[in-house]
Amino acid sequence: SSDLSGRLMPLKMDVADEASVKAAAAACEQFVGQRLSLLVHSAAMMHPSGRGENTVTRLNQDAFSQVLATNVVGPALLTKALYPKLKSDKGEEPSKVVAIGAGVGSVGTNKAGGWYSYRVSKTALNALMKNLSIEGARNNVLAFTLYPQMVDTAFATPYVKGNPYPELRTPEETAERMLELIESYGPKDTGRFVNIWSKEDIPW
C-alpha cells in the first residue's frame, strides 16, 4: 500500500529452514537497525493435507514433522536469529515477542482430543513462549501468547461450521485488538497465554 511506503519491507522466508531464517534476519538489519521492539510469530500450519488428524492411527511422520517445524521450531529459530536485536539493558523499554496461539494448545481444557500434530505443536509453542519469558526477564524481553479464537481466513474455512464461538472475527478487528493488548502489556504480563477478547488467561 502506498500509505505504508517506507514503513514495510517484505522479506521472503521459509520458517522451516534455518538458512532461510538466518538470511531474512540478516536482511532486516538495514531496516530495523540495532534494535527490534516487536516480533510476532504468526506463521502456522494445520496439516499438509489441510485437515487435522482425528485419530492417532492417521499420524504420518513427515506430516507431523512439517507441522512442528513450521509451528514450533520456526518461531524458536527466528527468535534466536533476532535475539541480539531484542535484548536491551534494564531501564530501557522492553522488547516484546508475541506468538499467535490456539485454544487447542491448552492441555488443561482439552476435552475433545484430535488434531494431533496441530494441537501438540501449539502446546509446544506455549512451552517455548513460557521459556522465553523466563530468559527474557534477564534480557529485558517480554514474551506472551495471544489467542484470537477463530478468524475469518482461508486457514479457518474448513472449520467454520464447528466454530464454538458466537462470532467469526475479521482479520482487521483481530489485528486491532491484538495491537491494543500488545501495546498495553508490560513486565507483569510476560509469560501469559491470553484470550484476546475476554482478556482472560487460558489454562496451560
pLDDT tens, position by position, 38-49: 999 999 999 999
pLDDT tens track for 2-43: 465 567 788 899 999 999 999 999 998 888 888 999 999 999
pTM (2 d.p.): 0.91
**Which residue carries 538458512 as its cell?**
19
| Other Cβ atoms closer than 10 A to 82 | 20
* CB-CB contact of 148 with 196 (8 Å): yes
Tell me the C-alpha distance between 77 and 103, whole Å.
Answer: 23
CA–CA separation, 39 vs 187, rounded Å? 16
Distances (CA, A) of 68 to 45, 104, 158: 9, 15, 21
